[in-house]
Structure 1
């Protein structure tokens, strides 16, 4: 058992990404009662960054800010009996564990440290038919964390586990869950999915943010987990932000595929979760059902795609289109060698008769990519600078020309779990092999066996207004794909949304997605729809192929589009 209450475990989160609020660890430890403090430091792009760090120095490859946070807070956590579980090990969990042990010795603390490893498949990528990536990491589950905690570890660090695993592991250890307790595990995954992105569960990136009284510095979330897998999502008293059905639903809809949220330990049925307000800043998650995990583990594959550079030209006043055409023609004619990819984008931010120079200006962006660094380095930026006195009137650039920078390409692979050496390295140095999941099932299907029943359409006269008048949205990236989750608050609104926002209507509202494959999933219990738009992000966030490379604003763009809505709802 981890906490003092055998039927309750209070798990707080202090990080949603590598670079999140540094002071959050101390804030969570001093703000109220906790049994476990977790942190999620990894993303698809982060694994590329940490992998490159380790190539430069084999002692690196972990989230360095986490170590600095521990230097400030490890004594406080030990004093309060709070265990810490984080995936900050990144590409080098063993190295991070060693640095933490050195830290505890220097601080004179009696703190035991364990780590989980085995996710790094880089050296075996070709053998496993995964190509030749810079880094290859399997998504491990919670059971290595369970072994570490059951051994008495006070701090557990991992490499690439699923984001929710740092929450599921402590719950499974505390309640003694077995591998086939799928409903309980799925409930913990739901809670973990809500809190792993930090303040996105307490009002951050929330469509109706103007309804929240104080969003200056939102508090980080807490999941109060119960033995049956149900939970209450809350935050420390007196902290900013809010915990409501909508802020929690927003995070449930983040970066999902369909109604089955598949992980290495359990497949969580998102279409079974009941979300209920239970007082101020307290939301219950209950009724979550789980199924067997899929037969293969997902693998994050990051490869260096080449080099990129970009230049932003400022176009002011009249004849914007003609100025843009002249800049394009001059730059392309001056390049000694044309890059493999050369993309122009004109953003018409200007308006007629503007009363400031900035609002009279548009931005012309040129992005270039090539496998040869020299082609998109000075050979590109020098040409743009040479145009300064020979181009359109009012010529200027937004910044100093830069050097070419490497970019990554993300793809997802899959391997047999038996091929992945999931290992818990305990505080005394013992290595415990963690067996792969048993009773796996073929669950990665696109639709439910029984499609959900949609409500009756809502008739009546309509008015053309923005979709976001009462529809909320949350969007995000998964490799080259993006998801857009949308939901409403009332049954009447749901009667309209379920029929109005079809795949065809989405293509109409988002022309950039018009020619791409789109899958729609209906989640009636959340009054929500989820859309997966395939290929809109090119080769993934690391490739920076799009204006919004992680699709964070895609849902808000959708909300801003006008659509015919029944007057009865307005």
Structure 2
């Protein structure tokens, strides 16, 4: 890295998930100056996918896309002096590091490769009381990455580290931070959280995308984000000049409230206080992130477990025209009768509109006097799950299809019977003491350096809810979709959903904080009504965040929702109507 501690460290991101834009690595390397290029490949569901890969071939278990990207761009990164840090090692960081060394030798690239390991707890599941999972990985922090970089590594690949560690590690190494420089570390963690999901910080998946387009921002091919991290941990979020998308306080806020819980954002190295973040638009595509305070990390590390929780299958029938409730009731009665004596452990029926895609379990009403057939139809999803693959195999689908000439009028299915598939279950509420988890940096020369657990820790407790501002005064209102004034972004954390909602003015905040309560959320989203929902306030961001427990069943690889990772939950909420002060509406 060619910069000095007096200048910011330019950390770019080129991947937000396993399957993100392949060309982003080259685009980021060629698009402008960078010091570090990161890549985040490991979503919770990805660990399940890599676990299945490792079952087929023990030599796999890493993100093969990254290796192909390096085959194309390793020489380019070396020529430009850009350090590469990625968690693409997945379940086999040592294996990926070995493949990268072979690649570098073949290409004649003079690069030093290191890796970080210790997160894989599969050999110790019995000792740690983790059961019999498919994968078991602790979320490690930034200091193994920092050790590797301090030893001169040009490429560092890791297993399961926190997403933000990919930014915090290079920053800690570059600026020489101590392990108790909590404010600086917290600032880098927040910057890392903002850029970790790639183009989500530059206008991708943005609630007010139509406004960006109207302002002349090209969203056809958004650029990937860059964090210019300073020695005090503050950062400027930007992107390469001339690339698509936009970086605004809105796009940054949207990513800040993504998949977080309360004001304390815990990690292995530091707990960042999200209620201290200040955002300032410094210029076109430049947002300063400052004021972040940090605290000692919690004593325990999060451990992610993935298990094959049985097998699943599904069939989708189409109900058309009149008497949809009666047709659905008849189909369910007939299917349960056909499966009597071999009914799966879990058999669920739920409806969704073919065209409108109503997300609620009741499904939207089909359109009467519809000009096209699809508008007159709804889908009836039949989900079957059981530990015995025989109960949910092709025989399950065949039992449904056998009703084709003996059921409701208009009976047809969207696909023929298929084989059972593994049902992945994700458990996220598992923690183990940090000293119980090894954290090792394997340097370019093969030396193993142990990273000790933190000297100081602080139990994670919620921040007391701050007093709300004065309510917006009574006045004329108009019934309109919430999304006319509020943005939202949502996602998954295991079996729970996270839903962040923000507004852009102080008046709207005074209204939102008193209006969008837990009870109101449950009214607007009836699917959440029976569940435990917790609201957290982030006043500096004019945001509220909801954690909805159990919405996603067993997790992204298991749930029966049509949106198993809750990615569109926020957009459903924005489309729901409520009484909004006319002062806030066009």
Q: TM-score, normalised by structure 1?
A: 0.98
Q: Distance in 2 between matches of 1:394 and 1:2?
A: 68
Aligned pairs for 1:35-114 (under 5 A) are 35-114=35-114
Q: What is the alpha-carbon distance in structure 2 between the residues aligned to residue 447 and residue 274 of structure 1?
A: 18
Q: How far apart are 1:5 and its partner, in Å?
A: 6.1
State the alpha-carbon separation in 1 of the partners of residues 123 and 241 from structure 2.
Answer: 47
CA distance in 2, matches of 1:5, 1:188: 14
Q: How many residues were matched structurally?
A: 567
CA offset digits 1:203-245 (Å, max 9, x no partner): 1111111112221111100000100000000111111111000
Q: Which of residues 376, 392, 397 is equivalent to 1:360? A: 376
Which residue of 1 is the match for residue 362 of structure 2?
none
Give the corresponding residue for 1:228.
Answer: 232
How much does 1:441 deviate?
Answer: 0.8
Alignment of 1:235-274 (within 5 A): 235-274=239-278
Cα distance, 1:323 vs structure 2: 2.1
Distance in 1, Cα, partners of 2:583 & 2:327? 48
Contact 2:2/2:81 (8 A) holds in 1? no
Counterpart contact for 2:5–2:174, Cα < 8 Å: no
1:551 to partner: Cα distance: 0.8
What is the alpha-carbon distance in structure 2 between the residues aligned to residue 244 and residue 348 of structure 1?
35
2:414 counterpart residue number: 398
Q: State whether residues 7 and 175 of structure 1, in contact with CA within 8 Å, keep that contact through their aligned partners in structure 2.
A: no
Q: What is the rounded CA distance, in whole Å, between the counterparts of 2:32 and 2:21 in structure 1?
A: 18
The answer to whether structure 1 residue 381 and structure 2 residue 381 are counterparts is: no
Give me the whole-angstrom Cα distance separating, in 2, the residues matched to 1:438 and 1:351.
63
> In the alignment, does 2:350 pair up with 1:345?
yes
Over residues 45-76 of structure 1, what are the superposed CA-to-partner deviations in whole Å (9 max), with x where a residue is unaligned? Answer: 11111122112211100000000000000000
Is 2:522 aligned against 1:507?
yes
Q: Deviations over 1:369-390 (max 9, x none)?
A: 0000010001101112222233
Pairing of 1:379-528 with structure 2 (within 5 A): 379-412=395-428, 413-442=430-459, 444-448=460-464, 451-459=465-473, 460-528=475-543
Question: What is the aligned partner in structure 1 of residue 320 from structure 2?
Answer: 316
Match of 1:539 among 532, 536, 554: 554
Q: Is 2:397–2:416's contact at 8 Å kept on the other side of the alignment?
A: no
Aligned-pair CA distance for 1:391:
2.4
Counterpart pick for 1:301 among 274, 295, 305: 305
Counterpart of 1:205 in structure 2 is: 205
1:4 to partner: Cα distance: 5.1
RMSD: 1.2
Q: Equivalents in 1 of 2:260, 2:5: separation in Å?
A: 33
Q: How far is 1:6 from its partner?
A: 3.9
**Aligned twin of 1:334:** 338
Moved over 6 A (4+): none
Q: Is the 8 A contact 1:305 1:408 kept in 2?
A: yes
Gaps of 5+ in 2: 355-365
CA distance in 2, matches of 1:317, 1:518: 37
Say which SS state the counterpart of residue 277 (structure 1) adopts.
strand
Q: Which moved more, 1:418-427 or 1:323-332?
A: 323-332
Deviates more, 1:455-464 or 1:244-253: 455-464
TM-score by length of 2: 0.95
Q: Which runs of 5+ in 1 are unaligned?
A: none
